Amino acid sequence: MYVSIGIFSFILGAIIGSFLDVVAMRWGTGKSLEGRSQCFSCSSTLIWLDLFPILSYFFLRGRCRSCHACISPEHILVELVTGFVFLSLALQYEGQLVYVLLLAVVYSFLIVIGIYDIKHTIIPDKLVFVFGILSLGALLFFGDITLWNLLAGILIPLPFALLWFLSKGRLMGLGDAKLMVGIGWLLGLQLGIVAVMVAFWIGTAVSLSIMGVQALRAQRRFHPMARKLIMKSEIPFAPFLIVGTFLVQIWGDSLLLGIFNLFTL
């Protein structure tokens, strides 16, 4: 039974992930989400054999059946990630079907937000608003309703909103603070703070790695503006917040204990 739930959850997640990738690609472009899927290069309509999540990518060897253009690995990556998220939620909250379904919807919105922020460095307000409402619903119907957890949606983003205001958007976007409203309600005050901390740690590690790679490339090419180019590189923060939120959602108590031990050494 346990294995069956895991397999079903992953397959369902992969199928929904394929749709989420389309939503992220078409959001804000004016294109409808209706109609048959098409190749992004030649606009040819995909046949049913090309629509199996994950498997079709390998069957086609990463190329369009019609024009043989390369298919971005992003599509299969989104399907794998969504499948893993659904699998983790189903196993973590086994027996709480309604809560799992709600969390699946919540993280579906977060995945679209993350993809869109990576592509455009913008967090869509409408998606963040729906995420916030869903998170508040999760708290009210399934969470630990305390005053601090209700205030988490205000207290957690407040410092970052002030940082945005004082820096006039140079240090952080307001969209990140808006996203933290829903994160606070979804996880509560304690775990919400942990999620933001984890996001900053992961973001710092990734940013330093990217800057290091850019510096090495710039030195090899003897680029005179290497330092300025690296420092001006814009890295979206929403994906790190989403990863931090998911990690805390699944391993919250362990992460909280680990951070507590770290600061009490």
Q: What is the mean pLDDT of residues 209-225?
A: 68
Banded model confidence at residue 231, pLDDT cuts 50, 70, 90? very low
The model's confidence at residue 172, banded by pLDDT at 50, 70 and 90, is confident
- Model confidence at 141: pLDDT above 90: yes
Contact 61, 80 (CB under 8 A): no
Residue type, 28: G
- The continuous run of DSSP H or E covering 101 comes out as helix 97-120
Q: How far apart are CA 81 and CA 37, in angstroms?
A: 20
Rounded Cα–Cα distance for residues 111 and 99 (Å): 18
Q: Cα–Cα distance between 16 and 95 in angstroms, integer?
A: 22
Please tell me the predicted confidence (pLDDT) of residue 71: 74
**Is residue 12 within 8 Å of 88, Cβ to Cβ?**
no
The pLDDT of residue 227: 47
Which helix (H) or strand (E) is 146 found in, with range? Answer: none
pLDDT classification of 59: cutoffs 50, 70, 90:
confident
Q: How many CB atoms lie within 10 A of CB 157?
A: 23
| Mean pLDDT over each residue of the chain, to the nearest integer | 86
In the chain, pLDDT over 90 holds for what percent of residues? 57
The pLDDT of residue 230 is above 50: no
Q: Which of 16-30, 59-73, 203-217 has the lowest mean pLDDT?
A: 59-73
Lowest mean pLDDT among 36-50, 92-106, 232-246, 247-261: 36-50
CA gap 264, 260 in Å, rounded: 6
Q: Which amino acid is at 105?
A: V
DSSP 47: P
Tell me which amino acid residue 50 is.
D
Q: Are 183 and 199 in contact (CB under 8 A)?
A: no
Tens digits of residue pLDDT in 113-139: 999 999 999 999 999 999 999 999 999
Residue 145 confidence (pLDDT) above 90 = yes
From 4-18, 54-68, 126-140, the region with the lowest mean pLDDT: 54-68
Q: Are 112 and 127 in contact (CB under 8 A)?
A: yes
DSSP 50: G
Cβ–Cβ < 8 Å for 86, 9: yes
| Residues 63-94: tens digit of each pLDDT | 777 776 777 788 899 999 999 999 999 999 98
3-state helix, strand, coil in the chain (%, to 5): 70, 0, 25
Q: Give CA torsion, residues 94, 3, 106, 164, to 10 deg.
A: 100
Q: Residue 72's CB: how many other CB atoms inside 10 A?
A: 14
Mean pLDDT of 219-225: 56
Is the confidence at residue 34, as pLDDT, over 70? no
Per-residue pLDDT, averaged over 37-57, amounts to 69
Between 255 and 207, the higher pLDDT residue: 207
Using alpha carbons, select from 105, 131, 99 the residue that is nearest to residue 13.
Answer: 105
Tell me the mean pLDDT in the region 181-185.
Answer: 98
